[in-house]
Amino acid sequence: MGAVRTDSFDYVLPPSAIAQAAIEPRHDSRLLITSSLREIPFHGLPTLLDAGDLLVVNRTRVRAARLIGDREPSGGKTELLLTKRVDADRWEALVRPAKKVRAGTLVRCGSITAELMTDPSNSVVTVTLTSETEIEAAIADAGEIPLPPYFHGSLASPERYQTMFASAVGSSAAPTAALHFTDRVIADLTAKGVVIAEVELQIGLDTFRPMREGTVDDHVIHREKIIVGEETVDALGTARGAGRRVLAVGTTVVRALESASAGAGRIAPFEGETDLFITPDYRFRVVDAVLTNFHAPRTTLIVMIAAMLGDRWRTVYEHALRDGFRFLSFGDAMYIEIAR
């Protein structure tokens, strides 16, 4: 896409615009239609869709990935934030305090023993986790759901940071565009004849990290595990054959669907990792429209939004800030139709 600087995707986000409470009911959040800058309540989403349109969600569930324990033999407190499962035994994690640990350090977190296999590099380590019980069950018992660092409010329950579709444990953060959905919205969509399908993308923390100074082409995109199953591929084929639209719920679903089609000419079942970086010169193959929240400055997510809206993304974000829309994970949403 040429030498476009990362600061081209920067903007001023006042702390007051970041949502610090989870609105109830979820579907009472605001939905900005970017083509007209018109606003409707999120529960009005079914009015934007037609019978036969396909809505695709991410079924990932946030892991209780924040483990706090004691170092041995010193007894000092240590936090491990699991960001990715590398294989059956090894995990990637952020560690604090990084200066107090090194390869070989043991951390006891409830029934889990974590052994650092590497020295910290930018606070990132590889660890092995062992427990007398199945490790995912042990993590769920010993760990905490890692809420976003910019969220300083409180939740009535950790489940408020899970979507209603969450069934496959594996992410470090929630696919926040889906946090707005409720049984009422799904019932109204189904009654209208909208078809719902699922994919899985395991969200890592790199998704939200700001890009460094330099050009967008210099940025190394994160890799995330995706699963696009045969049932979803069949649903996509049916929608396409009938001339209906495909609506992706969140940027994670966009990456999953577009990755399953990249280089193939058509979408096919896929399970593996993706490093697809959607930049403004990208040609969308599968997705026609996107539901997404308002993202932090200078992130790869903003770059993706620019691929959908062009330079008009600034107009949309400036309008949202002026009109008091709530930003980031527990904020409001926008509906984007992708120009072909």
72 shares its domain with 174: no
With respect to residue 94, please indicate whether it lies within any of the assigned structural domains. yes
The Cα 158–Cα 185 span in angstroms is 22
Domain membership flag for residue 55: yes
Tell me, yes or no, whether 196 and 258 share the same domain.
yes
* CATH classification at residue 48: 3.40.1780.10
Number of domains forming the structure of the chain: 2
* CATH number of the domain within which 99 lies: 2.40.10.240
Q: Which domain holds residue 118?
A: 66-142
Burial of 321: CB neighbours in 10 Å, binned 0-12, 13-18, 19+: middle
Q: Single out the residue in 112, 142, 172 at which a domain terminates.
A: 142
Domain-terminating residue out of 97, 119, 142 = 142
Cα 51 to Cα 55, 198, 320, 338: the distances in Å are: 11, 18, 30, 19
Residues 165 and 26: beta-carbon distance below 8 Å: no
Residue 148 lies in a domain: no
| Torsion, Cα of 156, 157, 159, 160 (10° steps) | 20
Is residue 1 domain-resident?
no
Regarding whether 87 and 206 lie in a shared domain, the answer is no
151 in a domain, yes or no? no
Task: Name the pTM for this structure.
Answer: 0.94
Q: pLDDT in tens for each of the 340 residues of the chain? A: 557 899 999 999 999 999 999 999 999 999 999 999 999 999 999 999 999 999 999 999 999 999 999 998 788 999 999 988 999 889 999 999 999 999 999 999 999 999 999 999 989 999 999 999 999 999 999 999 999 989 999 999 999 999 999 999 999 999 999 999 999 999 999 999 999 999 999 998 666 678 888 888 888 888 899 999 999 999 999 999 999 999 999 999 999 999 999 766 689 999 999 999 999 999 999 999 999 999 999 999 999 999 999 999 999 999 999 999 999 999 999 999 998 6
Same domain (yes/no): 187, 258: yes
Based on the fold, state whether residues 170 and 301 are members of the same structural domain. yes
Asked if 90 and 137 sit in the same domain, the reply is: yes
Can you spell out the DSSP letters for 111-172?
A: TEEEEE-S--BTTEEEEEEE-SS-HHHHHHHH-B----TT--S--S-GGGGS-TT--EEEES
Last residue within a domain, chosen from 97, 120, 142: 142
Distances (CA, A) of 145 to 63, 67, 140, 172: 6, 9, 9, 8
Cα–Cα–Cα angle for 311, 312, 313, rounded to 5 degrees: 90
249 is a domain residue: yes
Q: 83 and 223: one domain?
A: no
Tell me if 165 is assigned to some domain: yes
Would you state the pLDDT for residue 223? 86
72, 191: one domain: no
Same domain, 30 and 84: no
* Contact between residue 100 and residue 88 where contact means Cβ atoms under 8 Å apart: no
Is there a domain that residue 149 lies in?
no
Do 52 and 86 lie in one domain? The reply is no
Q: Do 176 and 325 reside in the same domain of the chain?
A: yes
pLDDT value of residue 213: 84
Half-sphere exposure of 104 (CA within 13 A, CB side): 1
Q: Look at residue 30 in the predicted model and tell me its pLDDT.
A: 98
Listed residue (33, 49, 51, 53) closest to 41, CA to CA: 33
| 187 and 129 in a common domain | no
Q: Show contacts of 260-269: CB within 8 Å, 24+ apart.
A: 260/226, 260/228, 260/233, 260/286, 261/285, 261/286, 267/228, 267/233, 267/236, 267/237, 268/233, 269/228, 269/229, 269/230, 269/233
User: Which pLDDT score is estimated for 1?
Assistant: 55
